[in-house]
A and B are shown apart, each in its own frame.
Chain A
Amino acid sequence: MGTSVQVTPLCGVYNENPLSYLVSIDGFNFLVDCGWNDLFDPALLEPLSRVASKIDAVLLSYPDTLHLGALPYAMSHLGLSAPIYSTEPVFRLGLLTMYDQYLSRKAVSDFDLFTLDDVDSAFLSITRLTYSQNHHLSGKGEGIVIAPHVAGHLLGGTVWKITKDGEDVVYAVDFNHRKERHLNGIVAESFVRPAVLITEAYNALSNQPHRAQRDREFLEKIVRTLEGGGNVLLPVDTAGRALELILILEEFWAQRNLGYDIFFLTYVASSTIDYVKSFLEWMGDSIAKSFETSRNNAFQLKRVKLLINKMDLDNAPIGPKVVLASMASLEAGFSHDIFVEWASDVRNLVLFTERGQFGTLARMLQANPPPKAVKVTMSKRVPLVGDELVAYEEEQKRLKKEEELKASLLKQEESRASHGVDNTSSDPMVIDTTNSNAPPDVAGSHGGGYRDILFDGFVPPSTSVAPMFPFYENNTEWDDFGEVVNPDDYVVKDEDMNQTALHVGGDIDGKLDEAAASFILDTKPSKVVSNELTVQVKCSLIYIDFEGRSDGRSIKSIIARVAPLKLVLVHGSAEATEHLKQHCLKHICAHVYAPQIEETVDVTSDLCAYKVQLSEQLMSNVLFKKLGEYEVAWIDAVAGKTENHDMLSLLPTVSTPPPRHKSVLVGDLKMADLKQFLASKGVQVEFAGGGSLRCGEYVTLRKVGVAGQKGGGSGIQQIVIEGPLCEDYYKIREHLYSQFYLL
């Protein structure tokens, strides 16, 4: 009867690999997250490639590589073509992250897994939703409602709630319950008691220091390094946690009025901050409030300077500085180059704010004790010079010639076949293509193609002997009033407003910073030069956790609060996964699954349900009792049919006394509350051993049985009241009863 739900991990279980899971709900396949790592290893995507074409919708939860990195590749190479849903910041910052990834990679290698166009076209198909917007799917997914909810961690971060027939499937990974400078925490109340919760064990074993203490340590380390004349490198992600760090530094610098430079260096730094400035709706309450009351945009940065080019950093005034640079993994990007430059100076500090991805340089450096020296590859894209350039040009020329030859051959064949007139360049009608405005490199490839046409889109009709302008016979219709006209031909097109829009924008690729743009457009022949070198790691290396994820204890308490009927654990080391699984089995719910890659677990709820109509006659006699946000009542009814006979309806029982039912006491008794309550009623109470409550002189109260399960998952409470026959006994019993509703 319940909705059928299957979960199949495609990547990222029992380890820290990127996240990607297949969740199918009544046959509708959701791909939740589509992550890749900084190493861009296509092997990781193999499971995805097998199912990509079957996917009906993609849900993205965070704007970082681990959650959406594989999207462009999957769309262009694996046949993924489903509609994608995300929040606005995930879309925008995700796009920038992918640009940064691409540019960082392209700068040091012949990266060809995907192009910027792939990135653009992948992100073009994203539908953007706001938090707690109930989006009703149509077509195959009819009846399914998806809604993003606040998750913290990164700007726009999402917990997805997928609802069908009143049953919720909640996908919550990497969430953060704490409020941060720019983000709100997760609100566990918005998805209580889902049928299925998919969450991760990544942080199940971690403990976090107190936030204030952590911040102090972080700033102290940085300031001490700067005062010692050293530089600080913070390897960060493109548009995620970097924002929080920027705010911390900005705030601290303003407070102390420090003069050291701070730089934020990624290929897309300035556009990132520009966009982030317009995302205030998505940030925490304090940011929104400060803007509403004083129009202070927290991301109107005064201290942090934005750079998109390493040259600008090299040109910066000499002296100690802080640099936030992407990528966090140190595998590529500016952080990689800066690390290589700075690692050998003991005064410098490399401060990691997140755990490095497995197998990356950052991870290696975070080992304890850190390695004394690391081997790195320094690659650079250099323009071709000398012989190489000549060789390249010759090669290009050869290719061009071949193409031309091919084209002319083709054309000759064609013309011979069609009308036998040879359109050679001596023909006065033919415009010499070399004079066209097309850029030479483009012309190189198409050169021959223009020969037989005068203008683009004009093909000589096959019946004509020589090229001629098209001639249309004017066969207009006439009636009594003159020529019959189509009114649409005379409507003034609503264009004027969009003209400018078109020539300024019209594409989604957003603002690529000039340097970056010039870099892409720069089609000058170049090659990648790599050399391996060993870097002596003399600088200090520190790891301070600024990942903005909930720690183990909070994860457990949040899962307990959400209290799912079934739980699926993904993402996290085998050890952490096993630990959390055991914990949840013991304390939270009986159905915990931790599937392997490509192992499908069926988490269809074994819940039975049917719908009935409550008739007016029945409801008029029901007396509800209010209990918090619930109202409860006992009903005895007879099943009947509704007027139009399509549903069951409940009618009041006609016969005299309804069957007696066992009475039910509803309420959640907390011993401490009861103690207070009794005390307020003038009863002497104190806790005796074993959690029992001694009331008055003789009567004892205690809870027995399965008290282990906490929170919403609790079973039936068993309470024992004992005592000799006395007035107190009845009085206390009365008080105890008053804590419950009797149905």
Chain B
Amino acid sequence: MASTAQPASSLKRRDAPVTREGDQLTIIPLGAGSEVGRSCCYMTFKGKTVLFDCGIHPAYSGMSALPYFDEIDPSTIDVLLITHFHLDHAASLPYFLEKTTFRGKVYMTHPTKAIYKLLLTDYVKVSKVSVEDMLFDEQDINNSMDRIEVIDYHQTKEVNGIKFWCYTAGHVLGAAMFMVDIAGVRVLYTGDYSREEDRHLQAAEMPEFSPDICIIESTYGVQLHQPRHVREKRFTDVIHTTVSQGGRVLIPAFALGRAQELLLILDEYWSTHKELQNIPIYYASPLARKCMSVYQTYILAMNERIRNQFAHSNPFQFKFIQNLNSIDDFTDNGPCVVMASPGGLQSGLSRQLFDMWCSDKKNSCVIPGYVVEGTLAKTIINEPKEVTLMNGLMAPLNMSVHYISFSAHADYAQTSAFLKELRPPNIVLVHGEANEMGRLKQKLITEFAADGNTKVLTPKNCQSVEMMFNSEKMAKTIGKLAEKTPEVGETVSGILVKKGFTYQIMAPEDLHVFSQLSTANIFQRITVPFNGAFGVIKHRLEQIYESVESGTDEESAVPTLLVHKLVTVKQDSEKHISMHWAADPVSDMVSDSVVALVLNISRELPKVVIESEASKTEEENEKRAEKVIYALLVSLFGDVKRDENGKLVISVDGNVAKLDKQSGDVESEHEGLKEKVRTAFRRIQTAVNPIPLPGS
């Protein structure tokens, strides 16, 4: 897991970190690491960075509620993926977008985006903190809307080489699990998910590909849920008994998510029980009422059941449920069912009703989900004799209290079945209280990691997890270059084109066919004043260049010279010669030398030093070359000596390389040095030796 590569030598330093860093995938939970709340998970691989979720911690306020954004550089993040609209998954987004250097793209599903705005606007309004403590205001939320892009389930998007798509996650409307694919390494981030289909949501899908890493929630750890029909029956039974005995039912619930599921259950129950239909159901949440249109619209994000019902009538246009804006609109005469927020009975409408009804034993209170420690709802689950009302007085608690959990998080059975089918080699647990997570880890290890191929990790906040992925780079050779598949040992030369994480090798002529790049040839034509005889030029050129071919121009029939098979010199007129060639470093150099030569002739300066052929022996030539090579190697590597066999011994930082000047072979213990010396020698040789003729 952790990188084990030995410290690289100073020589290899330039290359080494590039490949190592490239193969290392790092995951850092910036929030929700061994805790519940402020989900935020950072992942980087091959220079691409993804951030999953961007929530706040509901238990804290102000800056301390944020995930640890200081740990990372927001400007390096390419994509931010939001799984669903809950505050602990999305609420720090306006801050992150507006107050940090983050410039990447943000994606969420259509329903999430629509509810996100309503929910956060409401959150800003009701949160009672001082102006300095405000992380963002309504304007920031509105601004953030323009930067959020939408993604549909299964739709594949690609940003900067990062491919990603999402699956339905159950949990709430619009909840998604994101699969990210960077250079063939796949990471699944579940967010909050539920594998149990309910009245309106599909169960979390099973991805068709197994990911290399699965970052999974662990809220419920090793606990097991009651089967759905059991808790639904308990729920409807409690309500039915209470109202038929003339009592009132209070359901304190968070405005969005589970509340809609409960309303569907109630509406359906009422429609099948005629005797109840004169008993009103009230739903008291202005926010939820606003969100109702979102539920009525994004039917496609729900399950088949809702879609079939939709064929007849919109199931979210409730027949038996009335909206209630405030307690003033409510006339308390006889049995009724009221669903009101907040879910913890801290204050607001649900508390007002509780205070009114708690001392009558005909009444009931149904707590339908997870309740936070320290709230009144948590207190009354234990059914105390007395409770404190909002006005400070004590009152007897006579109403019956029922705790029926409708929480849409996966329980142990679901998590284990999900992972069993998915079989990811690496499991990272997030979004779970530390103890619960520890138990889950132990159980998963016994179940999966027995074979030693599965790793289960539980990083704390800001603790990074590193994994190595040696991704093989595959290239596709196409076009003219691929007309014949090479045998082992044959050379392949061409242009390697990289786009995202795909590689193609092609001949230069094919570049414009297979990519949107184009190639160019630049032809140069330059006129140089010269009024001497053309023959002189030829003579001089022959002294420098191996190949000077005479010819005549086809159009104007003037004499031409083709120097080094690259540059054509043409006698345009008595006073000018022209040269033309196709641009390329060698041709440019040849042409420069020709120009220098011609200018020298016309200036009638002392001739270019001509070394007579005879005066230069092969031996001398070689000696000079050797000297130059030696000098250059010394300037490059410092310590260069000759050994008894005529080899050059180069030592750098205690590593030794032996170079055979004739063959160019290098021997060294150290791979990096060997490669360096070989490259250097090759380059020096090309510089020292004459330029080979093209085509030779």
Give residues in A with beta carbon < 8 Å to B. 1, 88, 129-134, 136, 147, 166, 192-193, 271, 274, 277-281, 288-289, 291-293, 295, 297, 492, 494-498, 500-501, 504-511, 565, 607-614, 616, 619-622, 624, 627-641, 648, 650, 653, 655-669, 712-725, 729, 733, 736-737, 740, 742-743
Contacts and interface: CB of A to CB of B under 8 A. Distances in A.
B493 A609 contact: no
B269 to A, nearest CB: 10
Contact of B519 (A166, A629, A660, A666): A666
B308 A505 contact: yes
Given A497-B229, A716-B512, A717-B521, A632 B497 contact: yes
A639 B486 contact: yes
A633 B495 contact: yes
Contacts of A129: 154
A500 B474 contact: no
7 contacts: A133-B156, A295-B118, A500-B272, A665-B521, A720-B525, A721-B522, A722-B524
Nearest to A654: B678
A172 B493 CA distance: 37
B309 to A, nearest CB: 5
B603 interface: no
A324 B587 CA distance: 72
A664 B495 contact: yes
Given A494-B228, A610-B482, A620-B15, A631 B498 contact: yes
Residue in B298, B528, B681 whose Cβ sees the most chain A Cβ within 10 Å: B298
Contact of B311 (A192, A511, A565): A511
Interface in B296-331: 296-300, 305, 308-314
B682 A492 contact: no
A616 B19 contact: yes
Interface string B479-517: 110110111111111111111100101001101111111
B518 interface: yes
Given A614-B475, A664-B495, 17 more contacts: A1-B482, A130-B154, A133-B154, A134-B156, A293-B142, A494-B229, A496-B232, A505-B308, A511-B311, A611-B475, A611-B476, A630-B515, A635-B505, A659-B491, A664-B511, A669-B520, A729-B526
Contacts of B19: 616, 619-620
Nearest to A700: B525
Contacts of A504: 308-309, 312
Contacts of A288: 110, 150
A527 to B, nearest CB: 32
B585 interface: yes
B290 interface: yes
Interface of B: 15, 18-19, 110, 113-114, 117-118, 142, 145, 150, 152-157, 165, 198-199, 208, 227-230, 232-233, 268, 271-272, 290, 293-294, 296-300, 305, 308-314, 472-480, 482-483, 485-500, 503, 505, 508-509, 511-529, 583-586, 595, 599, 664, 675, 678-679, 681-682, 685-686, 692, 694
Contacts of A638: 489-492
Given A295-B114, A719-B520, A609 B492 contact: no
Nearest to B233: A496
A506 B307 CA distance: 10
Nearest to A295: B293
B418 to A, nearest CB: 19
A712 B512 contact: yes
Given A664-B519, A669-B520, A721-B522, A650 B492 contact: yes
A691 B76 CA distance: 44
B519 A717 contact: yes
Contacts of B585: 663, 742
A292 B145 contact: yes
A630 B489 CA distance: 29
B110 A280 contact: yes
Given A292-B145, A650-B492, A733 B229 contact: no
Contacts of A742: 585
A505 B110 contact: no
Given A292-B117, A611-B476, A131 B152 contact: yes
A716 B509 contact: yes
A411 B26 CA distance: 78
A569 B113 CA distance: 41
A614 B503 contact: yes
A511 B298 contact: no
Contact of B493 (A509, A659, A715, A717): A659
Nearest to B513: A565
A297 B155 CA distance: 23
Contact of A629 (B156, B271, B314, B499): B499
Main secondary structure of the interface of B (DSSP, over half): mixed
The 8 A-B pairs of least Cβ separation, nearest first, read A505-B308, A133-B154, A656-B664, A510-B311, A717-B520, A608-B482, A614-B473, A631-B498
B117 A278 contact: no
B526 A722 contact: yes
A509 B675 CA distance: 71
A233 B472 CA distance: 64
Given A193-B514, A636-B493, A297 B498 contact: no
Contacts of A715: 512, 518
A665 B478 contact: no
B521 to A, nearest CB: 5
B266 to A, nearest CB: 13
A620 B230 CA distance: 61
Contacts of A511: 311-313
B102 to A, nearest CB: 21
Contacts of A508: 308, 311
Nearest to B498: A631
Nearest to B305: A501
Contacts of B294: 295
B312 A505 contact: yes
B108 to A, nearest CB: 10
Contacts of A639: 486-492
A492 B231 CA distance: 13
A607 B664 CA distance: 39
Contacts of B271: 500
Nearest to B678: A656
B41 to A, nearest CB: 25
Given A132-B157, A193-B514, A281-B152, A636 B491 contact: yes
A720 B583 CA distance: 10
A320 B678 CA distance: 91
B573 to A, nearest CB: 13
Given A133-B165, A291-B114, A496-B233, A725 B527 contact: yes
A662 B478 contact: no
B155 A131 contact: yes
B629 to A, nearest CB: 13
B477 A297 contact: no
A742 B586 CA distance: 12
A281 B478 contact: no
A627 B483 contact: no
B596 to A, nearest CB: 11
Contacts of B505: 612, 635
A132 B682 contact: no
Contacts of A640: 488-489
Contacts of B228: 494, 497
B511 A718 contact: no
B595 A725 contact: yes
A217 B228 CA distance: 59
B510 to A, nearest CB: 10
Contact of B232 (A497, A724, A743): A497
Given A639-B488, A641-B488, A281 B300 contact: yes
B114 A292 contact: yes
Nearest to A294: B117
Contact of A613 (B298, B300, B473, B496): B473
B493 A667 contact: no
A610 B475 CA distance: 9
Given A292-B145, A293-B145, A280 B297 contact: yes
B520 A718 contact: yes
Contact of B298 (A278, A637, A743): A278
